[in-house]
Amino acid sequence: MMGSRVQQLEVSFKNLEPVVSELKAELHKEKAKSSDARFLLVDEYGIVNPPPTMVQP
């Protein structure tokens, strides 16, 4: 019985691997989009969040 349960878990794990890979790819795409949007904002409006040394009182 124990071997059967281990085999079931192995199959479940193998079924999850492509799902995790797909989610990682989606996350990577979303990060790239976010990064691209930030660069566009910087290009269009200048520095978005200047470091404290650049902020004048």
Q: What is the pLDDT along the chain (57 residues), one digit of tens a residue?
A: 678 999 999 999 999 999 999 999 999 888 887 776 666 555 555 555 555 555 555
Q: What is the DSSP string of 1-44?
A: -HHHHHHHHHHHHHHHHHHHHHHHHHHHHHHHHHHHHHHHHHHH
> Is 0.85 surpassed by the pTM of this model?
no
